[in-house]
Structures are given as structure tokens and as C-alpha cells.
């Protein structure tokens, strides 16, 4: 079984799907690996690192024409055209549309794609959950970004030249990214508050030393698989109204609220931004999905009403080395349940027989 690792081509994407240390582990399990030359450079991994791990360095066409191709980001139509007919494909497919042209092109060529974002959030699949591993990095990097953009101290500072109060940080959304943002901001010394529409997150927020913001919306926001569900229009309006005063007092807001396959909910209105102190910062992790603040501009840092709005859409790529290692481990753990050891090398199992691979595998019937 030959695994191909092409270079990511999306502008700004620095990650690579397999790191050298994971490549060595896969090679020891009988896989042969082919890496497109230079695919790991942006993540800090040189071709020589892969050669030392037993990886063959090849051109792009050869990497794409492997039995199994692993990527981070969604493939282009040109990349799909270069895949081997009947091949397996692993990576984020980034689509909620069953008629997506990339997926349809894969199905037409008999390619079996497994979407990393469809890995179920169950105990057995935690080590394969790439959404969580990358969101963890995003939450950390968002807090660092906020501290760098905020022109004041995060912690309480008492010096002979005077003292300053700690920054008031509000984190919206207590999923994987939000919890890591809370933990990081707290470690930096900020006074941290957090809000989530799912009542079960309250204990997690408190365990990290943050203060939960409690709102009575008249309905709960817990959805399937541990995700939040979309609120009614009435509850959304009440949420904005009740959050307004808390947010207006914040010096830093980090928003992480997302609903799968839906536009990001608006939590920070323009009227709130106008009330915030000059130089305050909003880091909007939902920028790629429209933003939790309507003033956010995707992939831009802008200043509006005196507030800095950060709209980066790929925080894991800002920490490409560690992000690539985490992702590569997710891939390796998934491959461990997809294949069994046989005399002729790794043999693919029936993907429909395991609940994890069955959930990740996309078919024309999805």
C-alpha cells in the first residue's frame, strides 16, 4: 500500500499531512510513502528529514497517483484528476453540499474519500479527531494573537512605576477552541469570562478558572454529537440583548461559536463594538463562516469604531510544525483501524464495518 503526500496548494496553508516521525512509524508497519518534494518545508520539515524516515521523494504527479493520498485541505479538481482511479483519499473535505463538484469528480473516478471532519466524537475516536486537534491549536493561537494585538498588559502588573488591572477577556463558545483560549488567556494572567449556550459546559469553564456567564434564553442549545444547535430567532435576539453589557465591558473578546453547516451566529453586534473601549480587540475564529461579529473581515485585521477586529481563518497554519504533527498522528491512528497486517503488507478492511470509518467515508448516497 503506497501513501502519497502532496504539497498543500491553498494560499497560506503551511501544514503537511504527514510529519517525518509519523512517516517512520507508518513505514515500520509496512506502508510505502511518497512525498512531493518540498511538501514539508513550510512546516519546518526538509526532504532530508523524510528520506531519513524512509520516505521516497517524488514529483507531484507521482505523489497524487498513489494508492492512498493524504492531504490537509480540500483537493482541487486538478488534484482529483491526478488521483489514481479507485484510490483512497484522506483529508478535510470542507463541504456540506452533497452535490459538491469535487466530491462528484471523486465519485465519478471511483475514488473513496474519507472526510476527517466526519470522524465521530466518541471515546474510541478521540485520537483520530483532527477537528479537535486543530481547534485546540486555534484556541491557543487566538489567545496569543489577542495578547499581541491588545496594547496593554493581560495580567495584573504592580511595579514601582505604577500598577494596572488585568485585562477582562470574554470567550464566546466553550468547545475545544474556546476552552483552550480560556486556559491560555488565564495562564497569561487575564480575568477571564466565558459563555456557551450548552449548559453542560459550565463545569468545564469553571474548572479552568474562568467565570461563566449565565443567560436565560428560554431554550437550551445542546445539539447532536456534543455540538451546539441553532437557536430560534427569538432566542438569538434575546441572547444578543443579554450579552451586550457583558461584552461592552470586555477589553478582549475571543469568539469561537460555530454551528456545523450553518452561518456563524452573530453574538457581537456593531452596537456592542461601538461601546467597547478604544484599542479593545475582537479575535473572531468564526471569520471563515461569516463571523460572530458582522464587522469582521475574513483574513484581514481591521480597526472599526476604535476596536481591532482579527479575522484570520487558519490559526493552525500559524503553528504549522506542531499542527502537522498532531494531524499526522490523527491520520496514523485512523489508518490503524482501517488496515490489518497481512503477509503481503497492510490490507484494507471493510470500511463499513467500523462505526468510525463508516461515518468518515463519503459515498454518492450521502
Cβ-in-10-Å burial (0-12, 13-18, 19+) of 288 comes to middle
Q: How far apart are CA 50 and CA 57, in angstroms?
A: 8
The DSSP letter of residue 201 is G
Q: How far apart are CA 109 and CA 147, in angstroms?
A: 48
What is the radius of gyration, based on Cα positions, of the chain?
Answer: 22
Catalytic residue among 108, 126, 163, 347: 126
Q: How far apart are CA 245 and CA 359, in angstroms?
A: 42
The answer to whether 196 is a known catalytic residue is no
Pick the closest to residue 135 from 154, 116, 151, 122 (CA basis): 116
Q: How far apart are CA 347 and CA 72, in angstroms?
A: 24
The answer to whether 47 is a known catalytic residue is no
The answer to whether 112 is a known catalytic residue is no
Q: Which residues pair with 35 in a beta bridge?
A: 5, 57
Catalytic residue among 34, 50, 129, 315: 129
Catalytic residue among 37, 227, 240, 322: 227
Catalytic residue among 19, 66, 132, 239: 132
The answer to whether 126 is a known catalytic residue is yes
Helix (H, G, I), strand (E, B) or coil at 5: strand
Q: How far apart are CA 236 and CA 258, in angstroms?
A: 14
The answer to whether 121 is a known catalytic residue is yes
What is the DSSP secondary-structure string of 279-322?
A: T-EEEETTGGGT-SSTT--TT-EEEETTEEEE--S-TGGGGHHH
Catalytic residue among 60, 121, 168, 249: 121
Pick the closest to residue 195 from 286, 267, 294 (CA basis): 267
As annotated, the active-site residues are 121, 126, 129, 132, 227
Amino acid at each position: 500500500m503506497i501513501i502519497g503526500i502532496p504539497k498543500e496548494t491553498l494560499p497560506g496553508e503551511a501544514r503537511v499531512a504527514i510529519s517525518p516521525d509519523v512517516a517512520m512509524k507508518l513505514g515500520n508497519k509496512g506502508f510505502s510513502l511518497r512525498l512531493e518534494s518540498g511538501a514539508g518545508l513550510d512546516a519546518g520539515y526538509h526532504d532530508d528529514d523524510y528520506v531519513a524516515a524512509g520516505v521516497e521523494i517524488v514529483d507531484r504527479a507521482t505523489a497524487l497517483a498513489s494508492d492512498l493520498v493524504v492531504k490537509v485541505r480540500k483537493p482541487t479538481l486538478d488534484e482529483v484528476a491526478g488521483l489514481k482511479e479507485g484510490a483512497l483519499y484522506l483529508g478535510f473535505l470542507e463541504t456540506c453540499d452533497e452535490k459538491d463538484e469535487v466530491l462528484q469528480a471523486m465519485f465519478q473516478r471511483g475514488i473513496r474519500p474519507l472526510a476527517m471532519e466526519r470522524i465521530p466524537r466518541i471515546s474510541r475516536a478521540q485520537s483520530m479527531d483532527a477537528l479537535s486537534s486543530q481547534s485546540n491549536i486555534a484556541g491557543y493561537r487566538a489567545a496569543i494573537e489577542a495578547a499581541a494585538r491588545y496594547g496593554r498588559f493581560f495580567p495584573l502588573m504592580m511595579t514601582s512605576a505604577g500598577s494596572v488591572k488585568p485585562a477582562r477577556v470574554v470567550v464566546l463558545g466553550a468547545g475545544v477552541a474556546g476552552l483552550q483560549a480560556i486556559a491560555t488567556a488565564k495562564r497569561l494572567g487575564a480575568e477571564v469570562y466565558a459563555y456557551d449556550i450548552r449548559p453542560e459546559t459550565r463545569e468545564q469553564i469553571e474548572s479552568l478558572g474562568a467565570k461563566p456567564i449565565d443567560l436565560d434564553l428560554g431554550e437550551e442549545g445542546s445539539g447532536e454529537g456534543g455540538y451546539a444547535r441553532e437557536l430560534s430567532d427569538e432566542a438569538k435576539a434575546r441572547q444578543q440583548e443579554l450579552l451586550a453589557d457583558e461584552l461592552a465591558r470586555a477589553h478582549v473578546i475571543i469568539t469561537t461559536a460555530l454551528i456545523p453547516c450553518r452561518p456563524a451566529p452573530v453574538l457581537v453586534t456593531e452596537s456592542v463594538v461601538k461601546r467597547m473601549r478604544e484599542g479593545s480587540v475582537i479575535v473572531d475564529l468564526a471569520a471563515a463562516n461569516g463571523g460572530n461579529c458582522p464587522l469582521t473581515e475574513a483574513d484581514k485585521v481591521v480597526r472599526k469604531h476604535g476596536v481591532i477586529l482579527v479575522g484570520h481563518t487558519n490559526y493552525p497554519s500559524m503553528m504549522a510544525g506542531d499542527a502537522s504533527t498532531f494531524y499526522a498522528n490523527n491520520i496514523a491512528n485512523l489508518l490503524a483501524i482501517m488496515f490489518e497486517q497481512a503477509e503481503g503488507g497492510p490490507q484494507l478492511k471493510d470500511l463499513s464495518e467500523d462505526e468510525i470509518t463508516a461515518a468518515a467515508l463519503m459515498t454518492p448516497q450521502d
